[in-house]
Amino acid sequence: MSCISFEQFSFQAKEAVEKELEQIINDLQAPEILKKSMQYSLQAGGKRIRPLLTFSVLAALGVDWKKGTKVAAAVEMIHTYSLIHDDLPSMDDDDLRRGKPTNHKVYGEAIAILAGDALLTHSFKVLSTLDRNRWTDAQILELITGLSESSGAEGMVGGQVADLLGENKQLTIEELEFIHTHKTGKLLAYSVDAGCILGNASDELRQKLKTFSYHLGLAFQIRDDILDEEGDQERIGKPVGSDLSNKKSTYPQLLTLEGAKEKLNYHINASNQMIQDIPGDTTFLKTITDLIATRDH
Amino acid sequence: MSCISFEQFSFQAKEAVEKELEQIINDLQAPEILKKSMQYSLQAGGKRIRPLLTFSVLAALGVDWKKGTKVAAAVEMIHTYSLIHDDLPSMDDDDLRRGKPTNHKVYGEAIAILAGDALLTHSFKVLSTLDRNRWTDAQILELITGLSESSGAEGMVGGQVADLLGENKQLTIEELEFIHTHKTGKLLAYSVDAGCILGNASDELRQKLKTFSYHLGLAFQIRDDILDEEGDQERIGKPVGSDLSNKKSTYPQLLTLEGAKEKLNYHINASNQMIQDIPGDTTFLKTITDLIATRDH
């Protein structure tokens, strides 16, 4: 049994990671406009799913989840930089993100690019300077390798390239899946794996949680595509149907809306099945999976 | 006495680092266009001053310089990403770099931004996966922290922001020096410091080499500004006078050409004086300093 409800946990977790992020940027000796631009996107709300995943794995492993706050902040910095760069005019050219003007709309393209670069760069220092009384050097190096792999050419950036190349093309389900497992899946999976690294999970457990992440990541994306088609613009913070107008392939488009919902259920069920195999208190992991299946923004 | 001439050393060093870079990109499981774009800028020539600095420090410390090849490659990846992003239309808007079309001119803006992101991200994996039979975990973590610090908001990116903010303004010498010590100085200094970390230099020696780097970095930039005013376009690979047309403050503009040359001499002399205090064979370090003072591109 968890001693706190998921709502309490989620509230505390968001607060902890947002406070940490604010502090990390405040501590930088850097031009004010750069810090403001970094802070603007870091504090623009967001569901903080990646931190919640890391923390939930720690909770399942019986480790005080707050110990993972800096690591969660580093992942959130990577996620945030990727949103800033994805929104740029030469990429998705989005004016709104979570209902607010995108970074380049407020700070201009040059500063937005540099704020992204700075967030990306500094996330590695956040990891490399983790408390070495609490974590071993080997754990820290494993965290750094994983963050780089999941967010670089072989992960998120590679997925974004595949996404761009796929515009205005009729993709197969396999091609669409490549995009999503790379563009969003690998960093989500890293958030789970980071919890395993910090909590000294066994290889067997780590493998199970990897399979869990794979299904959860795809479920997350399919739900995103469904929301883009039938969601409420005010809730999701961007125009409904923007994928279609951006000429991107989506699950509903390839499988029909009904087919996409079936596929979503399949991956949610697979995630839940994996969780059942995991020892420890998996309440939070289960709740996150349910939230992803039913989220409305 | 070095067993090889500086010319042989320089040739071998460039070859080693370029081969390493090629291999690093070839090994990536990533979309071909992304790898091509990364490779294009990495293999576009360049003086490889940062690798030469790391190698020269290793040579002075009596360490086989080839052992520093991966670290030098990581620094060159950071330097290369910064050139790709700096050349973008929303930044310096340059069409040519080293006499060749800039990355975004060949691959488009989106891929150029992502190639930069991927180079930046992967450089940290190059460090975090260094041979742990050769280097300690503590050395590797120190290398990662230093690379992040020198290239992020508190280093190179911060300098680039200050540079952008300083456009169309009359800067003071102090403001100009802030830009250059951050935009180029800190990564040059890191290249020297990385040699110290790998070669287990004493704190005292490290401090001396830090002072050396400071003067060398400023000398490098002042020489750059002088070349922009009186250099040969074919040699430097971009239009002469581009700083003026970009409305950037330069040393010759603030100090006159004569004054800039005096300041260059001051920093070159200070660098050379530091080298005299360093034990070991400093032939290569001395030669690089001379080259920076007199380079024509």
> What is the residue-level pLDDT of chain A in tens, covering all 297 positions?
457 899 999 999 999 999 999 999 999 999 999 999 999 999 998 899 999 999 999 999 999 999 999 999 999 999 999 999 999 999 999 999 989 999 999 999 999 999 999 999 999 999 999 999 999 999 999 999 999 999 999 999 999 999 999 998 999 999 999 999 999 999 999 999 999 999 999 999 999 999 999 999 999 999 999 998 886 666 656 665 666 566 789 999 999 999 999 999 999 999 999 999 898 999 999 999 999 888 877
- Grouping H, G, I as helix, E, B as strand and the rest as coil, residue B175 is helix
Q: How many CB pairs under 8 A join A and B?
A: 157
Q: Which candidate, B210, B161, B164, B165, places its Cα nearest to that of B182? A: B161
Q: What's the whole-number mean pLDDT along residues B221-230?
A: 91
Contacting B residues, span 12-41, partner chain A, CB-CB under 8 Å: 28-31, 33-35, 38
Does B129 sit within 8 Å of A110, measured CB to CB? Answer: no
- Classify residue A179 as exposed, middle or buried by CB count within 10 Å of its CB (0-12, 13-18, 19+): buried
Are B35 and B111 spatial neighbours (Cβ–Cβ below 8 Å)? no
Q: Which of A80-89, A211-220, B141-150, B233-242 has the lowest mean pLDDT?
A: B233-242
Which residue from A114, A138, A161 is facing B157, i.e. has the nearest CB? A114
Q: Check residues A4 and B1 and name the one with the higher pLDDT.
A: A4
pLDDT for residue B242: 61
For residue A153, give the chain B residue with the closest CA. Answer: B118
Q: Which candidate, A171, A53, A258, A137, places its Cα nearest to that of B142? A: A137
B139 interfacial to chain A (CB closer than 8 Å) = no
Distances (CA, A) of B64 to A255, B147, B192: 59, 22, 15
Q: Residues with Cβ < 8 Å from A163, sequence gap 6 or more?
A: A179, A183, A248
What's the half-sphere exposure (Cβ side, CA atoms, 13 Å) at B249?
21
Q: Residues with Cβ < 8 Å from B254, sequence gap 6 or more?
A: B171, B172, B173, B176
pLDDT for residue A242: 61
Q: Which candidate, B204, B162, B199, places its Cα nearest to that of B181? A: B162
pLDDT for residue A247: 75
Q: What's the whole-number mean pLDDT along residues B93-108?
A: 95
What's the half-sphere exposure (Cβ side, CA atoms, 13 Å) at B207?
3
pLDDT for residue A1: 46
Q: Which of A273-287, B203-217, B232-246 has the lowest mean pLDDT?
A: B232-246
pLDDT for residue A246: 62
Full-model pTM: 0.96
pLDDT for residue A287: 96
Are B276 and B270 spatial neighbours (Cβ–Cβ below 8 Å)? no
Distance CA B81, CA A184 (A): 23
Q: What is the largest CA-CA distance in chain B?
A: 53
Interface test with A, best of B121, B137, B150 (most A CBs within 10 A): B121
Distances (CA, A) of B119 to A84, B76, B104, B125: 18, 9, 15, 10
pLDDT for residue B234: 60
Q: How many CB atoms lie within 10 A of CB A236?
A: 18
pLDDT for residue A244: 58
Residues of B in contact with A165 (CB under 8 A): 31, 33
Residues of A in contact with B29 (CB under 8 A): 154, 158
Q: What's the whole-number mean pLDDT along residues B230-252?
A: 69
Looking at the complex, report in whole angstroms how far the Cα of residue A192 sits from the nearest Cα belonging to chain B: 19
pLDDT for residue B1: 46
Does B90 sit within 8 Å of A108, measured CB to CB? Answer: yes
Q: What is the mean pLDDT of chain B?
A: 94
pLDDT for residue A45: 87
The two tokens of residue B95 are: 């069409």
Q: Which candidate, B219, B222, B221, places its Cα nearest to that of B211? A: B219
Report whether pLDDT(B240) > 80: no
* Bridge partners, residue B100, by sequence: B97
Residue A97 dihedral angles phi and psi, to the nearest 5°? -145, 125
- The 3-state secondary structure of A177-203, one letter per residue: HHHHHHHHHHHHHHHHHHHHHHCCCCH
The b-or-e profile of B88-104 (16+ CB within 10 A means b, else e) is: bbbbbebeebeeeebbb
pLDDT for residue B142: 98
Distance CA A28, CA A33 (A): 12
Query: In angstroms, how far is CA A171 from the centroid of its own chain?
Result: 24
